[in-house]
Structure 1
Amino acid sequence: MLRRDFIKTLLAIPFIPALSTPASSKNSPQYAMVIDVERCIGCGKCVIACKIENHVPEELPISRTWIEGYLDGRKVVMNTKDNPFLNSKAESGFYVPKLCNHCANAPCINVCPVYARFHTKEGVVLVDKETCIGCKYCITACPYGATFVHPEEKVTDKCTFCYHRIKRGLKPACVLVCPTGARKFGELREGSEIYELLKRSRVRVLKPEAGTLPKVFYVNLDAEVEL
């Protein structure tokens, strides 16, 4: 399906910003993730599963996905097993999982001087680690704070939607382990589970003013969240 067809598809869904359109290739599935903030309990299983699946040392304070907890009026980033808020049962709190948004208009791709970042035919943003020189331009350009330099590999790293899994028809690790079904992943096409979920839900994207055309959508995201 061509990009213009996806624009038409998204325009047909009420309340979904038309700018949230993936870079697409003809006849290739286009993937998106939907996160229901009201379902997230801040258990951190997604963070741990991501680190294990993608070989990011669990003891390091970095992660391809992380959780921001808004507890008792304060923001807490919960991305390590030692964080005291990771299993918090605070009643006056909610949790917002974050990750690379796999933007169709990805700033990180646009600024890379060695073309180490690219879109797959499915619209997933990947890093060629053999080409990356660790200049950190992509880190500066990303409005979501989703990229980091791997301290052991010395090149940039980030969420890949578990591309090695979805190519085999499997779900991303974070989606697979979520005990409440807060994360949904699938093809962004008319009639799909993702499409229908977006169609019937109150949907937002992070930093819409950046014009990045993200492929991560949020359901029931509170306005007080620091986008």
Structure 2
Amino acid sequence: MAEAMGLRERKKFETGLRIWRTAVRLFTERGFDDVSVAEIAEQSDVSKMTVFNYFGSKEELLFAPIREHFADAARAIRERPPGESAVAAVKRQFVEAVEARDPSVGVTDDPYAYQVRRIIEETPALLARARLLALGGGDELVEALREGGGDELRARVAAGLLTAARNSLIAQIKEQMLAGVPVDEVAGEAVRAAGTAFAMVENGLGDYGARPGPEGTPRD
């Protein structure tokens, strides 16, 4: 990214990245609540005001790079070409992210991506904010599905299923990455799993999970 920028933009990008990485390192070492913006500024070799100019608040140091991704599914719906279904659009966006090794879906060997996730999960205030952002992303997905006059109930059910499929896939990716599975292997499995997960959304649950009768056999 930096290589495609002009000198001024590149320097600005590099300064922001240095501040962000310094913050993540300090939060990882000592905990989010025990690190001040002044300390981040000092170790980043910038002023405290510069930190706020780039990120606005200490919380935004973590959420700025990931905020937009809470609306990825809604964006996939709104940007889909004519004739592409909602399920196909969300699946395509997810698979493209996996193939690009995008940290937003967890398929990355960048340690900072998992450090950020860990900091959020271990800090109650940040976890609460992440959940609010996720709820906002879900509401935006419903709105995207309703554009053009869609029924609200169907849109909410569809949004719930699409979100569950994405979240389940990302959870599986996280589990495999933390287990030390090579990133390329994780990516290949994620693409295959996406086919299964989104097929369930597209085809409906049908008789999945149906309880067998006395003489029946269990169903997958």
TM-score normalised by L of structure 2: 0.22
Larger relative contact order (C-alpha < 8 A, sep ≥ 6)?
Answer: 1
